[in-house]
Amino acid sequence: MSVTTRFAPSPTGLLHVGNLRTALHNWLFARAAGGRFLLRLDDTDRARSTVEFADAIRADLGWMGLDWDGETRQSDRGALYEARFEELRAAGRIYPAYEDGRELDLKRKVLLGRGLPPVYDRAALRLTDAERADLEARGVRPHWRFKLDHDEPMAWDDLVRGPQSFDPRTQSDPVVRRADGSWLYMLPSVIDDIDMGVSHVVRGEDHVTNTAIQLQMFSALGGTAPRFAHEALLTGAEGKLSKRLGSLGVAHFREAGIEPEAIASLLARIGTSDPVVPTLDRAALAAGLDFARFGRAPARFDEAELAAVNARIVHQLAYEAVARRLPPGMDQAAWEAIRPNLATVAEAADWWQVVQGPVPSAVDEADRAFLAEAAATAAAINWSADPWHALTNALKGATDRKGKALFLPLRLALTGRAHGPDMAALLPLIGRERAVERLAKAGGSH
């Protein structure tokens, strides 16, 4: 089977981390199979859908590196929905219903009060032609429901959850069109999946009941239902569903210095027992995606874990990949020297400042004479090869210092910090003139 997946956000807001995970999994699955990944903007909600949100969705997917092979907008497909709606209506699978929200709410409360499931009673099907005509003469406009077949099973083998089965008698006939003619989610989504040749639908477990109902819509429209994978929803690090996850989107991650590959590496694996391997290789991520390895327990998203993954991604980034984000004058040698100490690319500017100076001097009084000697030694050594080891070897031979007593005062005087990049790589970037000046100042002779 040729694989076609789709990501179908509504442009009524910005994408959050849960949306990014859905988009990524659909993209990885399609790419692993050599198939197609489609973007569909479910913008039938005219009041809340905006061009700005649609543009933001495209930009966020682009930043994540999730390219798509085709794009459609539901707002352009009204004629198709109308034609298929009329087919279902002619076949008796769509019917008008006239209850308003107050009446429906009262019916639900009565059923719940009796300990019964709040399933619509199909009262609209019992109306006579005269009663319908009377309602419409009084200006009551119907909404439209899809009539479920109580004898047609709702069953499928879910790629994540395994065999699933629902009794259609426990489900209300879903409203598919409002009284004002606007569409709800359920039916246009099925029409589009058939028309677009979608073979696999990957989405959250909150859609499981929708899938049961939509299976009958696929059947009624003469379409082949896709394979479904319903993934457990994300939870926050505190172990419960977190509203904060709804605010974590691309803007937040970019501001925090998170790389797209870090997000992809983490979101590709959380929810499985497989280790998260920070990688720049999307093909490897795609090849390793296996829905059977995803558990049904909520998947835990931890920003601290993401930050750790991000640091390991940064340590793999080539100079060419980050050059435009580095401070002026910082070349490949500087990037490769500083990179192992970075948690984000933006931190490179801090270390470049350490190279260029000035740096704070926080030297122990007892080390001043040693540093003055180090300044004189630094001025005399050969800087053409490995000045750090030339300097430390000369000082080791001329003093009784070794280990921390030898290296720490030098690092503090040269960088103003007790920890940082390998000094053998950093000292040539600082250079002879700045190094001698910093050591002399720390030694009290400048």
Which whole-number Å values give the CA distances from 302 to 274, 280, 312, in the listed order? Answer: 16, 20, 16
DSSP 8-state code for residue 355: H
DSSP 19-78: HHHHHHHHHHHHHHTT-EEEEEE----TTT--HHHHHHHHHHHHHTT---S-EEEGGG-H
204: part of which helix (H) or strand (E)? strand 200-204
CA distance 59 to 65: 10
3-state secondary structure of 163: strand
On whether the CB atoms of residues 35 and 2 are closer than 8 A, the answer is yes
How many C-beta atoms surround the C-beta of residue 174 within 10 A?
21
Q: In a 10 Å sphere around its CB, with 0-12 CB exposed, 13-18 middle and 19+ buried, how is residue 113 labelled?
A: exposed
Gap between the Cα atoms of 271 and 229, Å rounded: 13
Contact present, 168 and 193 (Cβ < 8 Å):
no
- 243 annotated to bind ligand: yes
Structure-token pair, residue 60? 């966020």
| Cis peptide, bond prior to residue 358, ω within 30 of zero | yes
Question: How far apart, in whole angstroms, are the C-alpha atoms of residue 275 and residue 284?
Answer: 14
- 387: which 2 tokens? 């000045």
Q: Which helix (H) or strand (E) holds 176?
A: strand 175-177
Contact 176, 164 (CB under 8 A): no
Q: Report in angstroms the alpha-carbon separations of 129 from 86, 96, 125.
A: 19, 12, 10
DSSP string, 76-97: G-HHHHHHHHHHHHHTTSEEEE
The token pair at 439 is 């050591």
Distance, in Å, from the CA atom of 302 to the CA atom of 396, rounded to the nearest integer, reads 46
Yes or no: say if 210 and 154 are a contact pair by the CB < 8 Å rule: no
Binding residues: 243
Binding residues for ATP: 243
